[in-house]
Structure 1
Amino acid sequence: MKKIILRLGVCLSVLFISGCWDRKELNELAIWIGSGWDVANNDGVEFSGQIVIPSNIQTQGGGGGTMQKGFFTISASGKNLSDALQNIQTKLPREAFSGQRRVIIFGEQFARRGLKRELDNTQRRAEVSLRTDVFVIKGATAKKALSVSNPLEKPPITATLGEHELSGGRGNTAYLDLLIAATSDGLRPSIPVLEFSSSQDGGKKGKSDSANPPLLRIAGVAIFDKNLKMQGILNMEENRHMLWVMGILKNLTIAVNKKDINASLTLNKLSSKIEPHISKNQQITFTVTLKGEGSLKENNSGLDVQYLNNLKRLEKEFEKISQKQVQQTVTKVQKKYGLDIFGLGEVIHRKKPNQWKSLKYDWDKKFSEADIIVKTDIKIKELGMDGPSLLFKESEIKK
């Protein structure tokens, strides 16, 4: 009986300890937060990573001691990503772990060379999440971008996540959106762009511990063709227009500065409705209706917006300027690039699937020839302090 009890005890103890023998402790891992791709010699790839230094992050913000960087950047070259990672591992005393990766950056030269032959490793490995933000760094290398400090965020590359989200962008679905667009016939990929800047515009850029440290900022969006080769960049304003047409813009501030009107409106409820029409001779027309609701942030004029006629006048001014700007962006993309980054082809795919079967094979050309009509509908829902600016005298107020 004692032998049976002893055997049962041994079996039970094995159950409790099994499954943990190959677990990696945190102090055995090099936690990878940001990844970067650049062009290397012989058509290879230079892969970089921003890695957390846990002890420094824990002590930063404490009193008395010297502030130390909470990260370091490492890189190595190889024939492809796996080869480069193997070469990186020779420099690390801990196993490189990408399960916490938040950001991917492509150097501009790398992006122009093309992404199609480079990204399989990032999808195939089980520990890597697809919910990642992705950027192209304008006129520079990803390795350099991953080496920049940020006074507010530790590790610093996570600052780009907040910048992207607060600017109304796609956030941590950007990489997943890239993969979806890469396999679509009616949507060409686009990736947000970063550029080097400094905390103070117009001042001489200093070192990371100076009064004007270098920073990364959102600077627009990169356009890719169906072979995942970068073709050009739209600026930040044009990027917002693109996102609005796509129906994924989260916020937008519109400013009007005319002779008798100087005002700003922040839209926080935005939508897009796209209606395609295909004539008998196969001429394609899209009507894009953009709607926005928001709050009046500035009214540096004598208009008393308590009066409905003045409120409607402001709404019309905001509609006019936004319609003109978005129409210009759409036309620029059609004529200069001929690439459907708005996903208009996917609208036809959903609403007119039978006709799409014949259109999809030469969609870039058909997109560039389509008539795209942009309409806007803007509503001011919140006025803040009612009435005109307090700085205007009664005789200067327009009612």
Structure 2
Amino acid sequence: MVRNLLVILLLCSLLIVTGCWNRRELNELAIAVGMGIDKQGKQFKVSMQVVVPSEIAAKKGQGTTPVVLYSAVGDSVFEAIRKMTTESPRKIYISHLRILLLGDELARDGIGKSLEFLTRDSEARSDFYIAVSKESKAEDVLKVLTTLDSIPANMLFNALETSQKEWAPTTSVTLDELISVLTSESRNPVLTGILVHGDPNEGGSSDSVKNVKTPVRLQYSTLAVFRKDKLIGWLNEKESKAYNYIMDKVQSTAAVIPCPSGGNVTLEVIRTKTKVKGKVIHKKPRIDINIRGEVNVDEVGCHIDLTKQRTISQVERLAEQRVEDIINELIHTVKQKYKVDIFGFGQVIRRSNPTAWKELRRDWERHFMDLEVNVKVHASIRQLGTVGNSFLDRIKE
């Protein structure tokens, strides 16, 4: 009797239990990996780089390009994406987005409205990177096919990570990080720029990636400076690297140091640690930046004796002065040319002295212009390489 009752209850439960009501079948979706947003008049032009599954699957390709680009124009980003269904046989799916590119013109007009959809849409994740297409449209960047990685959006994602880790003038920014800075009362955002070398229309042909030297290339550039959500200018390479030193984002890079007697020594920065502290003295804010770095000697192009501790200490001092100089030059440039706090110094002051910040926050841009910033760098050489002094010293002319 009890067993029969249990069977009846189980059968009844099947009537009210449903499957995955919002499931998405792979063959019903167009997987977007790259997204570009450009300004077109008062509207948005959205471009989507979509994977072609048959070309990605092993040994099943038909010789066509591994991605396809869809574009549409709308009064909003979401409207433009939905309009793409007039061309795409499948609904665009953005959960696997790797890179978001913002066009140069759009960035100068303001990026806030174009990001609102991505913060609200339930299908959008926030772990993709965001960059600005420098001197070009975002659509043009997404047109270009790449070698090494057949999916261009994946190449852009990986190249940005690699350049930040190994070179340092670029920085990877996710959607959450960008929104956090945009809504901050004392900090303004920066984004990495990307350049198209060559004709982007030619770069969309599969023939362009069959050459040893491809005629069209994508290259990450320097950092774009924003006032709130509007692009106002660009840092150069040296300034971009100095920015990452301040923000404690330099993991590794190369530094060329001039020797006192002429020539250069090239150092490999293997690790750094930056501490930024703030204080308010007699109602005047002050920032202290302390950087500790470890370096290896990679190239010696001058006559120095690395067997002597005095020479090693001299090279360390030169390296310290070099980093201090580029950081001081950057801070001066940002104060005088852009007049915006891209470093988050205001946030440092707020954390150190909340009471004083209540007064300073009312006119932080003016206080930022007069802000005293002290930079101190300490460098330590860890390795001199596999040889002592350079063989160049033994070459007789």
TM surpasses 0.5: yes
Q: Is the contact between residue 160 and residue 172 of structure 2 (CA under 8 Å) also seen in structure 1?
A: no
Q: Partner amino acid for 2:54? A: S
CA distance in 2, matches of 1:106, 1:323: 33
CA distance in 2, matches of 1:346, 1:333: 17
CA distance in 2, matches of 1:28, 1:348: 52
Q: Partner amino acid for 1:268? A: I
CA distance in 1, matches of 2:62, 2:97: 28
The alpha carbon displacement at 1:327 in A equals: 1.1
Q: Judge which range, 119-128 or 6-15, deviates more.
A: 6-15
CA distance in 2, matches of 1:330, 1:251: 22
- Give the alignment of 1:70-89 within 5 angstroms: 70-89=66-85
CA distance in 2, matches of 1:66, 1:90: 24
Q: Is the contact between residue 110 and residue 231 of structure 2 (CA under 8 Å) also seen in structure 1?
A: yes
For 2:219, the equivalent position in structure 1 comes to 217
Q: 1:266 is matched with which residue: 235, 254, 268?
A: 268
Q: Judge which range, 6-15 or 93-102, deviates more.
A: 6-15
For 2:32, the equivalent position in structure 1 comes to 32
Q: Is the contact between residue 222 and residue 232 of structure 1 (CA under 8 Å) also seen in structure 2?
A: yes
1:346-387 deviation per Cα after TM superposition (whole angstroms, max 9, x unaligned)? 110111111111111221221122122322211111222141
- Give the alignment of 1:184-333 within 5 angstroms: 184-197=184-197, 207-210=208-211, 211-226=213-228, 228-258=229-259, 259-280=261-282, 282-333=283-334
Q: 1:110 is matched with which residue: 97, 106, 113?
A: 106
For 1:203, the equivalent position in structure 2 comes to none
For 2:150, the equivalent position in structure 1 comes to 154
CA distance in 2, matches of 1:237, 1:164: 17
CA distance in 1, matches of 2:95, 2:149: 20
Under a length normalisation based on structure 1, what TM-score does the superposition of the two structures give? 0.88
The alpha carbon displacement at 1:83 in A equals: 1.3
- Give the alignment of 1:21-60 within 5 angstroms: 21-41=21-41, 43-59=42-58
Q: Is the contact between residue 33 and residue 50 of structure 1 (CA under 8 Å) also seen in structure 2?
A: yes
What is the percent sequence identity of the aligned residues? 26
1:97-127 deviation per Cα after TM superposition (whole angstroms, max 9, x unaligned)? 1110011100000000002222211011122
1:244-268 deviation per Cα after TM superposition (whole angstroms, max 9, x unaligned)? 1012222221112444342111212
For structure 1, list consecutive stretches of 5 or more residues without a partner in the other structure: 199-205
The alpha carbon displacement at 1:392 in A equals: 2.6
Q: Judge which range, 117-126 or 365-374, deviates more.
A: 365-374
CA distance in 1, matches of 2:21, 2:339: 56
The alpha carbon displacement at 1:221 in A equals: 0.8
Deviation beyond 3 Å, 4+ runs, structure 1: 1-15, 169-174, 206-210, 257-261
Q: Secondary structure at the match of 1:334?
A: helix
Q: Secondary structure at the match of 2:108?
A: helix
Q: Is the contact between residue 284 and residue 370 of structure 1 (CA under 8 Å) also seen in structure 2?
A: yes
Q: Is the contact between residue 246 and residue 274 of structure 2 (CA under 8 Å) also seen in structure 1?
A: yes
CA distance in 1, matches of 2:344, 2:21: 49
Q: Is the contact between residue 186 and residue 349 of structure 1 (CA under 8 Å) also seen in structure 2?
A: no
The alpha carbon displacement at 1:8 in A equals: 5.6
For structure 2, list consecutive stretches of 5 or more residues without a partner in the other structure: 199-206
Q: Secondary structure at the match of 1:296?
A: strand
Q: Judge which range, 206-215 or 284-293, deviates more.
A: 206-215
Q: Secondary structure at the match of 2:327?
A: helix
Q: Secondary structure at the match of 1:157?
A: helix
Q: Partner amino acid for 2:293? A: G
For 1:202, the equivalent position in structure 2 comes to none
1:108-167 deviation per Cα after TM superposition (whole angstroms, max 9, x unaligned)? 000000022222110111221111100001110001111111111121122122222222
For 2:390, the equivalent position in structure 1 comes to 389
Q: Is the contact between residue 274 and residue 290 of structure 2 (CA under 8 Å) also seen in structure 1?
A: yes
Q: 2:128 is matched with which residue: 125, 129, 132?
A: 132
For 2:201, the equivalent position in structure 1 comes to none
> Could you say if the C-alpha distance between residues 92 and 312 of structure 1 is closer, same or farther in structure 2, counting changes exceeding 3 Å?
same
For 1:69, the equivalent position in structure 2 comes to 65
Q: Is the contact between residue 134 and residue 191 of structure 1 (CA under 8 Å) also seen in structure 2?
A: yes
CA distance in 2, matches of 1:22, 1:289: 52
1:197-225 deviation per Cα after TM superposition (whole angstroms, max 9, x unaligned)? 37xxxxxxx94444333121111111111
Q: Secondary structure at the match of 1:232?
A: strand
Q: Partner amino acid for 2:332? A: T
The alpha carbon displacement at 1:287 in A equals: 2.3
Q: Secondary structure at the match of 1:269?
A: strand
Q: Is the contact between residue 171 and residue 192 of structure 2 (CA under 8 Å) also seen in structure 1?
A: no
Q: Partner amino acid for 1:248? A: K
Q: Is the contact between residue 218 and residue 236 of structure 1 (CA under 8 Å) also seen in structure 2?
A: no
CA RMSD of aligned residues (A): 2.5
Q: Secondary structure at the match of 2:101?
A: strand
Q: Secondary structure at the match of 2:71?
A: strand
Q: Partner amino acid for 1:263? A: V
Under a length normalisation based on structure 2, what TM-score does the superposition of the two structures give? 0.88
